[in-house]
Chains A and B, each alone.
Chain A
Amino acid sequence: MHIDWKSLGIVASVSIGAAVIIVAIVALGIASLAIADNRAAVDQPAGLARAAGYACIGAAGLIVLYGLYLIIPQFH
């Protein structure tokens, strides 16, 4: 019986690694934007936090596009 342990290991590590990284990026983005909101509410400079937040959300957007590229067979 042939069991492809190698591709099983790759699928497992890629799935776990990628899921954790993507969720971390989005969570960081959300946290940064929330910090920016809180600072703006008390008239403190919030530009840096906001920029970091948008950068994370932008990165997540690019990951979604890559996901679409993988799903749609016409792209490859």
Chain B
Amino acid sequence: METALFVVALVIVTALFFDFTNGFHDSANAMATSVATGALKPKLAVIIAAVLNVAGAFLSTEVAKTISGGIVNDALVTPTMVFAGLVGAILWNLMTWLVGLPSSSSHALFGGLIGAVIIGAGTSAINFSTVISRILLPAVVAPLVAGVAAAGATYLAYKLTQGARSRRATSGFKHGQTISASMVALAHGTSDGQKTMGVITLVLITSGYQAAGTGPQTWVILCSGLAIGLGTLSGGWRIMRTMGKGIVDIQAPQGFAAETSAGVTILASSHLGFGLSTTQVCSGSIVGSGVGRSLHEVRWSTARKMVYAWLLTLPAAALVGGIAAAVANTGIFGTVVIFVVLIAASLGIWVVSRRNRITAANVNDSPDVRISAAEPVPVGV
């Protein structure tokens, strides 16, 4: 019984860590365009995003009935597999953050779980058709829909205000952008905040520490809200730079069109029954806002790298999750080894990121996220 409690505690700590990486990975979704256009100061932007994310997490505590939503056979999932899946998701989130690429935290979590479940229970525990209909198809649809919406909206925004280029027009779009971005942050909080609450609650239920069919306990809600809020507050400036400057050098009308399209698409998808990933919606709408103004504006090399990261998210997280499960399933010693490896790898990635730090102060200075130490001398300065 005591080892079971130990594993559950380890899962909860790991889940909160995942929640933290989820927060800093996704603060860029809502705020990158507002930071890039100067509608909001970087620090203020992440404070707003964090507050709204936490508010969203508290507003919606109706947790999912299953950990994976039917992607894996939940009856076969043990706390150790959840732990291994979380390890895969966290490491993939940190790797993509290091290179400054937005990638879906939900897909990373599903990928990690799939890998862990394949190792622990075999491929028959995976519902591959659900993987296609709930993950792969939406991954193609999300950026396309948001991109087309943002391209049309951007084109109109420029067309309609053509004769009215003024400081008033720019500041009007900046205000609009701040409001749409805040809506995205709030909507994001209501969906992503409960992801971790759901994982923790289901682990507590399956290991017998909580009655089946009950909602998340108060401390679970508090800790999850706090973890995602702190993650958002830390900013994820590397991803913020790519999304705000790296894909398109965003102007106020584009930022407004992109955030509005993202917000509308997220709301439509969550209310009309076809779930889409927030990250992919937001990235798609930013690319679309570049296309709507001028095709040449889009840095397609960055957009391409982003697509590769999306394609790799599921298999990469699954690979790490699978390896973690293979070791963790050997017993309590293996589980501890994996936890230590997770901490060491996370610290390692963080140390590498320090070689070329990106902070609130320099997020807008360049479109590139580099890992090497030397910052190239800007031309013409």
Q: Nearest-CB distance from A67 to chain B (Å)?
A: 5
A34 adjacent to B168 (CB under 8 Å): yes
B168 adjacent to A67 (CB under 8 Å): no
A71 adjacent to B268 (CB under 8 Å): no
A19 adjacent to B274 (CB under 8 Å): no
Binding-face segment, B37-45, B88-96, B155-163, B350-358:
B155-163
Query: B residues 244-262 with Cβ under 8 Å of A?
Result: 253, 256-257, 260-261
- Nearest B-chain residue to A33, judged by Cβ: B168
CB of A24 closer than 8 Å to a CB of B? yes
Q: Nearest-CB distance from B39 to chain A (Å)?
A: 14
How far is B266's CA from A67's CA once the two chains are assembled, in angstroms?
11
Q: Nearest-CB distance from A43 to chain B (Å)?
A: 18
CB of A44 closer than 8 Å to a CB of B? no
Chain B residues with CB under 8 Å of A48's CB are none
How many A-B residue pairs have C-beta atoms within 8 angstroms? Tell me. Answer: 137
How far is B152's CA from A15's CA once the two chains are assembled, in angstroms?
11
B62 adjacent to A7 (CB under 8 Å): no
Query: A residues 2-39 with Cβ under 8 Å of B?
Result: 2-4, 7-8, 10-12, 14-16, 18-20, 22-24, 26-31, 33-35, 37-38
B274 adjacent to A18 (CB under 8 Å): no
Query: Given the interface contacts A3-B137, A23-B256, A31-B163, does A67 sit within 8 Å of B183 by beta carbon?
Result: yes
- Nearest B-chain residue to A26, judged by Cβ: B176
Question: Of B56, B133, B150, which contacts A19 at CB under 8 A?
Answer: B150
Q: Is the interface of A mostly helix, strand, loop or mixed?
A: helix
Task: Write the B174-209 contact mask toward A (1 if CB under 8 angstroms, else 0).
Answer: 001001000100110010000000000000000000
CB of A68 closer than 8 Å to a CB of B? yes
A35 adjacent to B164 (CB under 8 Å): yes
B160 adjacent to A60 (CB under 8 Å): no
How far is B253's CA from A31's CA once the two chains are assembled, in angstroms?
12
**7 residue pairs A–B, Cβ–Cβ below 8 Å:** A1-B132, A11-B276, A12-B145, A64-B183, A71-B267, A72-B190, A74-B59
17 more contacts with CB within 8 A, not counting A4-B274, A35-B163, are A3-B133, A11-B276, A15-B268, A20-B149, A23-B261, A30-B161, A30-B168, A30-B169, A30-B172, A31-B163, A33-B168, A33-B172, A34-B166, A37-B166, A67-B263, A71-B56, A74-B59
Q: Give A residues with C-beta under 8 Å from B.
A: 1-4, 7-8, 10-12, 14-16, 18-20, 22-24, 26-31, 33-35, 37-38, 60, 64, 67-68, 70-74
